[in-house]
Structure 1
């Protein structure tokens, strides 16, 4: 292949990377959680179900109702990102403990508040494939064994980090900024930072508005991409520059942890599972982060075999920086317009 053809191929691949990057912003940090509640209606045997789900999942499919129950009414209100349903249900018999409503919306998790049986029952629920079952016949939240809690929240942590494009973009910049022990130090510092702020925010020790945090997370991607692009080989051995980079990563780690805390709250963690849920969710985030780091290093190793590692590195960093700028503008515009 001639030099001009090779350059054209490189430019085409770079444009493709940028296009993919620009296609992703709307999906940044996606975690699709539903909020459900049911209460007795005015008439005997009647109930009112309220459901709030992400609009991308909205559909008018029927609920899976217990035998002897039917829908009597349905109202739907679509907002910018959420769709809210108010559904009337009538039953010809008394509810039993095993009765449940199967919802048709493919959420990643949900919170459920029920007063259908007289007692107030609040709990977090996990989907079974493409559906989520609401245990309307229960009179108390189910107490789960520690292994079940561990598996659920570890998995939720993995799913969140691997589906959180903004967090992954930041970790990508770290992987392309440093190597060896210094990369390990940067990732460890980032982990300590977001683990600390995740715990403080989850237990309401600190409270910070979410929109500005999300905007600064986007800024952190652009900043670290710039740092990595401008980095030189001798920077990795300069103690002063290393300390500065560690301090910057620690600060951004604290901000990313606040974003993780928002997701953990949305899952509606049961009071008796707050500590264990926090620990295992954070462990899942770290496990997912390590999986991503391993994948990035493997790709760079493969690119090095074909003598394309520097080109791949530059293309990835410029893409991350541009997408970070786009997310920053998008998020600042979002909460600025919301305040107007």
Structure 2
């Protein structure tokens, strides 16, 4: 029991150490669009946090020269546009990003040549350069944005804590599944609508409301009384749907920061959302499994463990809420 309490205390400290801006480590984005036989438009988007803006730069073959980039700051990212002039075709040569070794985030590469399919690749510190294919894989965009969706829910700590808190509140697998489905439908609606420009909300209040939604669930867990079920327990799908709408605006903001590949918006949007769902299912499964193990092997520790986790989640979310309100 003492060991369990120590582990819970360590978990609380770890949660408290999570960054205030829970979605701040965005991937970089490098796009090369061919204009004619020798010229390419280059767009390089590097998040200020994570190391790419200060450490990394696009890298090209020796037969290419780049014009002086026109740089600007958009949100929390450095955006630079330039023209790349190459004396021969890029097919078979490597392009990518130099200086990713010290960065804490990955990057997306999109190469759109004339008369050939678009190539999309994920760049990491271990694989920062990729060969431009003469006939690229048509599923590259789908794979890249699917991985981004999974990564976003697993490293977007505010969304992650919301899903964990939802499971802690409801406990029962099938009730969780129904609530998670309502959450999925809701955030899919606002993610798609916002990304396609049908509607939208300013990002700052959205981020504050996301933190508030986590605080609400933490309080609901702590005040649970089997004799008097609260609204969140009587109609969990309604609560999950309402908060899902808000979280969808948050997902859309992240996707806007990442950037959607021009010409591949539908497949990128669909697979990003699917990736979010896969990551969400992984979180639900891991939390349910942890609760089941506690219930089976140390039943007396189940409620104290849930309460300890709820206080840790609530404290972390409260810190985020205050930080986001003061800006």
Instruction: Assess same fold via TM > 0.5.
Output: yes
The alpha-carbon deviation at position 22 of structure 1 amounts to 1.6
Matched position secondary structure for 1:126: strand
1:179 paired to 2:171: yes
Residue range with higher mean Cα deviation, 126-135 or 309-318: 126-135
1:298 paired to 2:293: no
Alignment partner for residue 217 of structure 2, among 224, 231, 236? Answer: 224
Q: Is the 8 A contact 1:17 1:315 kept in 2?
A: no
Q: Is the 8 A contact 2:218 2:313 kept in 1?
A: yes
1:127 paired to 2:127: no
> 1:282 and 1:14, CA in 2 relative to 1: closer, same or farther beyond 3 A?
same
Q: Is the 8 A contact 1:176 1:228 kept in 2?
A: yes
Matched position secondary structure for 1:331: helix
| 1:194-218 C-alpha deviation (Å, 9 max, x unpaired) | 1111111121111211111011001
In structure 1, distance between residues paired with 2:155 and 2:181: 21
Q: Is the 8 A contact 1:186 1:249 kept in 2?
A: yes
The alpha-carbon deviation at position 293 of structure 1 amounts to 0.8
Aligned length: 314
1:260 paired to 2:251: yes
What's the TM-score, normalizing by structure 2? 0.77
* 1:338 counterpart residue number: none
In structure 2, distance between residues paired with 1:162 and 1:18: 18
> 1:207 and 1:97, CA in 2 relative to 1: closer, same or farther beyond 3 A?
same
* 1:156 counterpart residue number: 148
> 1:79 and 1:95, CA in 2 relative to 1: closer, same or farther beyond 3 A?
same
The structure with more helix, counted as a fraction of residues: 1
In structure 2, distance between residues paired with 1:198 and 1:232: 35
Unaligned runs of 5+ residues in structure 1 are 335-340
* 2:278 counterpart residue number: 287
Q: Is the 8 A contact 1:103 1:134 kept in 2?
A: no
Q: Is the 8 A contact 1:77 1:83 kept in 2?
A: yes
Q: Is the 8 A contact 2:106 2:125 kept in 1?
A: no
- Please tell me the root mean square deviation across aligned C-alpha atoms, in Å: 4.1
In structure 1, distance between residues paired with 2:207 and 2:10: 26
What's the TM-score, normalizing by structure 1? 0.74
* 2:22 counterpart residue number: 28
Q: Is the 8 A contact 1:214 1:259 kept in 2?
A: yes
1:168 paired to 2:160: yes
Q: Is the 8 A contact 1:35 1:52 kept in 2?
A: yes
- For the pair shown, the structure with the greater C-alpha radius of gyration is 1
| 1:281-330 C-alpha deviation (Å, 9 max, x unpaired) | 22221111111111111112222312321121111111110101011111
In structure 2, distance between residues paired with 1:65 and 1:45: 13
In structure 2, distance between residues paired with 1:273 and 1:77: 25
Residue range with higher mean Cα deviation, 196-205 or 277-286: 277-286
Alignment partner for residue 276 of structure 1, among 267, 270, 275? Answer: 267
| 1:144-176 C-alpha deviation (Å, 9 max, x unpaired) | 53x444433322211111111111111111111
* 1:109 counterpart residue number: 107
Alignment partner for residue 48 of structure 2, among 34, 54, 57? Answer: 54
In structure 2, distance between residues paired with 1:36 and 1:125: 10
